[in-house]
Amino acid sequence: MIMKKLLITGILVLAAIAQSYTVSAQTAEKQSTDAEFVYEADRFADIRILRYELPNFDRLTPRQKELVYYLTQAGLAGRDIMWAQNGKYNLAIRTALESIYTRYSGDKNSSEWKSFETYLKQIWMSNGIHHHYSNLKHQPLFSKSYLQEIAKATKTEVSTEILEVIFNPNIAAKKVEKDAAKGLVENSSVNFYGPGISTEEALAYYASKIKSEDRTPLSYGINADLVKVNGKLQEEVYKVGGKYGKALEQVVIWLEKAERVAENDKQAVVIRKLIQFYKTGDLRAWDDFNIQWARATEGDIDFIHGFVEVYNDPLGNRGSYETIVEINDFEASERMKVMMDHAQWFEDNSPTSAEHKKKEVKGITYKVVNVAGESGDANPATPIGVNLPNAQWIRTMHGSKSVSLGNIEDANNKAGGAGMLTEFAHDQEEVDRAIKYGEIAGKMHTAMHEVIGHASGQLENGVAPSSQTLKEFASTIEEGRADLVALYYVMDPQLVEWGLIPSLEVGMAEYDGYFRNGMMVQLRRLKFEEEIEEAHMRNRAWICNWIFEQAQASENPAIVKVDKDGKTYFDIKDYKTIRMYVGKLLNEVQRITSQGDYEAAKALADGYGKKVDPDMHKEVVYRSEKLNIPPYNGFMNPLLVPVTDQYGNITDIKVTYMNEFSKQMLMYSEQFGFLK
């Protein structure tokens, strides 16, 4: 292991300094009563770090607060797992750079120190040395000799191997390779596969486990690395006593505390099932946990915890460690309950083929929640909505849960500005509509994407899950499918009748914004000559480009490209026709999913979603740079501080909001660095 080759002499000093960042209950009370909440905490590179509020926490009972605290600590206890999964060098590099950062007493106004600080913050944001969105390795803007100089000054020894990893652009150049022609496993530096394993070997290993007649297939590989021992492939399972065991032991300790203060028996069973999974690594225990979790819909507190999303595995099998602790927003959830209650209506009225629709939609629950804490794959970069479980057979037979992360969405909205809108909107009418309806349009899209989109449709008999049939395109096709469902229904008059939206102008605002982003604005996230690879960016691109192409075949195109004063805009002329194209594409994407049509998935994802018009890219970057709005947001968690009595019993939990991103990251490394 590379960890053994990196000798750090400043660990004790780092621990002492990081410990000093722990915030007292008195500070918590002071910061919690600030009159005006400040959302933005930091900016660096292409990142803006935001804080999010935790509203109405004091309405919880002391027991509920204690449950939230234990679940949050359980999530953070496994934080290092995500770092290790993202790349085998990440923890060693983080430890070295944090030691230098906390010990260095030299010139901190020099350009190289500022560049070093930015590089470390980029790594914190990404849980590793690769960009959280592009998968490309962060490039330091300071020299190797400078790093050696400040390492020496802080008595931190950094190995030659680590120096090569940081400064040689050809080593671990990409976290996840999406181009099959380049070797999905061979060219990915994500830490899921041992040396010498080929893509073909890995695919064959898991193909041998799959039985086409199995209606309840296990999630093979979801919690294990694939390695080669004496020429034979075998799995290293994530469990207590196994891979990542030291961190999972701590996770279990906190979960056991949480189980004792569960809100109800069903919730306690869910937590016990999760503990069993972490202790045994048994995939049936993982299924049992997900089934019980999907059924446990009572109570105010819920959580996401486990090896969940498979985007970081080039073959779509291994789950990344992720946790989100949620507190129900009752008022917002009640307003959206109508969507959950009419899930079958959405399925029945979908433009997809009858054989690809569920005859009976079971167990869909939807809530708007406020996040109390996140970790792993969900922090600092966080989703705004989640639909789980991912196993299709569990969703079909036992149901699913969808949540919108309300306080995360609020932080995004309140920290933003109108600059991007006014720059890229075609006319004032579009701007006015976005200002009036843009926020509700975005929330409706997120809700329908998660609640209706991911829960809709079914596979044909004998067709394996998309991770096996669509392979490297599974993620972008699934995200696109859910987006298309949301886009189709956001323009449906039935939503107005149900009171979910005030008028179809909400749908028009969503179409405007979706095409602005998919055709133009999201390109600012890419480097020049870079192709679109991230699943969500790619799905937005192939949806918009496919529909735009279809529209151009008409004498009166429903959407047109406009050149005005040397700037490009996209103007939608006929929203109903755009909705017709959305329905047509949704039908095809559901067919691709239901039949496992790899070649059709490739044609969409590569043919319409991968390539970038270089002239358009340059224009978007130029227009965006003038606005000085970073393209990516990361988030700092609130800090939950226990208040205890004279016997050490927790009597209350106070909420504070740390002001500095660096202090929170250092505190996490010191308190939860169980895999160093």
CA atoms lying within 13 Å on the CB side of residue 409: 22
Q: How far apart are CA 38 and CA 35, in angstroms?
A: 10
pLDDT for 113-163, tens place per residue?
Answer: 999 999 999 999 999 999 999 999 999 999 999 999 999 999 999 999 999
Q: Is the predicted pLDDT of residue 52 greater than 60, yes or no?
A: yes
Q: How far apart are CA 151 and CA 143, in angstroms?
A: 12
Q: What are 605's two structure tokens?
A: 């994802």
pLDDT for 262-315, tens place per residue?
Answer: 999 999 999 999 999 999 999 999 999 999 999 999 999 999 999 999 999 999
Do residues 298 and 264 make contact, with C-beta atoms less than 8 angstroms apart?
yes
**Alpha helices (H) along 218-366:** 245-260, 265-280, 283-295, 330-335, 337-341, 343-348
* Beta-strand pair 301-307/232-237: unpaired
Q: Which residues pair with 371 in a beta bridge?
A: 326
State the pLDDT confidence band at 335, using cuts at 50, 70 and 90.
Answer: confident
Taking residues 556-573, what's their average pLDDT?
Answer: 97
Q: What percent of the chain has pLDDT over 70?
A: 95
213 or 641: whose pLDDT is higher? 641
Instruction: Please list, in sequence order, all residues whose beta carbon lies within 8 angstroms of the beta carbon of residue 92, skipping any fewer than 6 positions away.
Output: 2, 3, 5, 6, 162
pLDDT for the residue 35:
56
pLDDT for the residue 210:
85
Taking residues 44-56, what's their average pLDDT?
Answer: 96
Instruction: Please list, in sequence order, all residues whose beta carbon lies within 8 angstroms of the beta carbon of residue 292, skipping any fewer than 6 positions away.
Output: 266, 269, 270, 273
What is the C-alpha radius of gyration for the chain, rounded to an integer number of angstroms? 24
pLDDT for 417-463, tens place per residue?
Answer: 778 999 999 999 999 999 999 999 999 999 999 889 998 999 999 99
CA dihedral (77, 79, 84, 85) in degrees, to 10, reads 120
pLDDT for the residue 631:
93
pLDDT for 6-36, tens place per residue?
Answer: 333 333 333 333 333 334 444 443 343 445 8
Q: How far apart are CA 517 and CA 487, in angstroms?
A: 14
Cis amide prior to 389 (ω within 30 degrees): yes
Query: What is the residue type of 424?
Result: F
The residue behind tokens 């079909």 is 396
Q: What are 634's two structure tokens?
A: 């990361």
Do residues 225 and 235 make contact, with C-beta atoms less than 8 angstroms apart?
yes
Output 136-141 pairs: Cβ under 8 A, ≥24 positions apart. Answer: 136/173, 136/174, 136/175, 136/527, 136/530, 137/169, 137/172, 137/173, 137/174, 137/175, 139/169, 140/115, 140/116, 140/166, 140/167, 141/115
CA atoms lying within 13 Å on the CB side of residue 556: 4
Mean per-residue pLDDT over the chain, rounded: 93
Query: What is the residue type of 215?
Result: R
Q: What percent of the chain has pLDDT over 90?
A: 87
Region label for 591, one of left (φ > 0), alpha (ψ between -120 and 50) or beta (otherwise)? alpha
Comparing CA positions, the residue from 235, 277, 285 lying closest to residue 252 is 277
pLDDT for 550-564, tens place per residue?
Answer: 999 999 999 999 999
pLDDT for 162-206, tens place per residue?
Answer: 999 999 999 999 999 989 999 999 999 999 999 999 999 999 999
Largest distance between two CA atoms of the chain: 79
Using a 10 angstrom Cβ sphere, with 0-12 exposed, 13-18 middle and 19 or more buried, the burial of residue 565 is exposed
Q: How far apart are CA 198 and CA 203, in angstroms?
A: 9
State the pLDDT confidence band at 333, using cuts at 50, 70 and 90.
Answer: confident
Q: What are 357's two structure tokens?
A: 């629709």
The residue behind tokens 């005859």 is 359
The Cα-based distances of 198 to 181, 185, 517 in angstroms read 13, 6, 37
Report the alpha-carbon angle 436-438-442, nearest 5: 150
Q: How far apart are CA 588 and CA 80, in angstroms?
A: 40
Q: How far apart are CA 634 and CA 127, in angstroms?
A: 11
Comparing CA positions, the residue from 81, 241, 155, 178 lying closest to residue 472 is 178
Report the alpha-carbon angle 527-312-76, nearest 5: 105
Comparing CA positions, the residue from 37, 48, 19, 129 lying closest to residue 83 is 129
Q: What are 549's two structure tokens?
A: 């192409």
pLDDT for the residue 29:
39
Q: What are 345's two structure tokens?
A: 């209506």
Q: What are 667's two structure tokens?
A: 């505190």
pLDDT for 465-498, tens place per residue?
Answer: 898 899 999 999 999 999 999 999 999 999 999 9
Q: How far apart are CA 197 and CA 290, in angstroms?
A: 31
